[in-house]
Chain A
């Protein structure tokens, strides 16, 4: 289960066929991270990410967990192209990343919906940038609004929505653009625990209907195991890979999993790995 240098693994079996409302054609890219290093504040600055390498196969749901400040969010920003690498290479399919682009969609921890656009216009935003024609755009937007259950809120402004609803729109907005990779930076971190589990269920459902390469950062171990095909555990700063664990729990998954012995065993193992890090830190 533990693989230090994971090779690309075959994508998990396609999930249930129920609710095939989602568009059939969907892009899914592979991601290669090679010797990636990030140093803040010049050559003598703080080392945030230290020589990380791993690969993510198309359609794989990879979760990164680690102690706070370990550089897991930084890694995501590097993949998005929002932060410049100090060293190493990041490739999406075969193209090296040197700037942000719509092939890497992102859902942020904070609320980043455009407040001047309605829910519908927010979801439509990326399609407009891509100059997708009106009629086609409409079809896609309605499908995703439906998928996240916000069809009746299409004409609301973000300020009129709850935190959970805002993140649902953010997910729909990222997915509607059909990125090869979806990056999620603790997207449910700011939500209360009940909303959080509703959101996890929703994400599981949407992802299992229509798979996509996902790189998901969280500090919630339950969330990591529940969602991921694979959990990468990072060390405390400077961030390195401590363990790379495959989650062998079959899909479709449900929230009841958290009571299963397999789940608990895996959780205990990841917690152990993390506690080592936090203890070393003190």
Chain B
């Protein structure tokens, strides 16, 4: 018999044995999780790269916050499109929604086409902008506004007819507004909206299609005029902001998946240990029958390779379905038809499978290869090793470390994650292990339930501790995700001061300031300071990193509320410096008295850092990274921003305000919170999927540990039965033992989630934290229910065996 057919035969027969099946299921789960995430992000990435010209909308895209002088653009053979992008409120009767507006003119699009759903629900393709007076709106925005095709929507000072729903569009992958609901209008209507005036926040996009030489020439030109905050994008350059965002999301989810992979790997390690133990007998027979050591090695390596191959196949198939759920969950944010994935997700899944096996199963397997042929006569020659031996632990830790590096490709972050998880796991594990070491009573008295539970917990303290740690972590993470999407946001909402501003108005022009004051005064609404705002660029004078972004810049005489000077001095009459926030000072290493130049609307002003401020960003008043002295900037023509509190009984004021100031943008906190909640809910649903799989991995690990003690329990129960112990007492003892494990894991998991939620509220949201006792209760309940069900099945199965069944088994 050749070793391939022998190993195939053993593989299929042994799948029924439990250990190999559990190993296969655990590995399939690990591969499935990794495959689902990588398949999903790869498809997004590929749609970005494969359709990059269409995605970009041309062969070159230049994005800037200041309109460029078009006559200076070098001559080229090809097409050129100009797009205005800005945020504004779109409204229909009483519905208002902040949207990303894209204003386009002929020729547009210059690469790809637009797919628009018409009133007959048919997809029509367009290679031109909407007609003047018409607007295309994406499905999400239409849903939020509750409008149908043919309805009129108001945008700034004009009204447009909603004529079609955006199904797919060229140059979709635009930067900052990519996730906001979108509308496309004709630039011919732009003037009548009165939304674009000097100082307005507009992003100008210039698209070009041309020959390679001309594109190179254009790129060179834009490189020369490019200023901080501007972007030059060409299809070959994969490093787009959206590409980076996908990479970051992929890393984040893979890290979430890492826990499930670790739990699965531990289950694989325990199953391999059991498999190895069982197969010492096989190998002893093989050796007695004259198998060469090499043949035995190949046979078993092949068996594990089959486990890997089948796990990879089933895991990838499962991963495919999970990524489809991700897609349907997040479909509003991504293109409708994503391209098929490339080879990378399969490569990552395969490497994950083999790393898990090499790190967690192979060390156990090696024991088999080193088995003496004499084991057949002397069972004492059989050494399967200790689960916590240095070799096993080291190889497992190495595999774990390799996987983190492989997923995120950064040694620094890998070290932080690796050692944090290790320290945390060792702490919890050590804590439980110590408790179990101290509670061991003398002797096992099955008639005293608690004594017996203590004895059993203590006897199997290694695997029990492992079991508790894994379930604790899985439950804690699920509870944190649950709590984040429910408790934390509402608690943050509640924590806002009663009269905190709940509406912002921006894009307000000079001539509207007085009207706004009158409007709010007449409705008895307190007006907070109105700040001028414009976009500014900073240039460092002297050595140092470029300041590669633009700032919302304002000027004022008095230090605003919620700001505290931490270094330097606030402005006096004669000063001509600027005040920056501590975040900007740290990010760009700007120190007091550092000289800078400020470019505001083309005007270059020499200045210096006069003070550094600590800003309370959560006070819902307009806050600024950079502030100048009024005297230095009073001749500019900015737009204005302010905030105000609209009480619950005067909600209509917001609607009236938008009608009265159609070219301004109003953001209501309520809408903002709804949007945040919607995003958090979608992301936590996607996370819940992964955490659900983590819980499944924890259950597989539990099954592996149950299997580990099964034979011993079976024999013990048989002996106790022959000594006259009733089946009911036996069932009760085993059930309560597992329930204790559930109580431990649920209690600890709940406690961890409770502490984590408390810390998140304190340090992330910076609100007065609440202790959610119900999380603790939920943790205990869920663990007790899940483990209760499993242990009930296990207990029942165990107690059906008669002593005769057990003793007649040849071991």
State yes or no: do A and B come from one complex: no
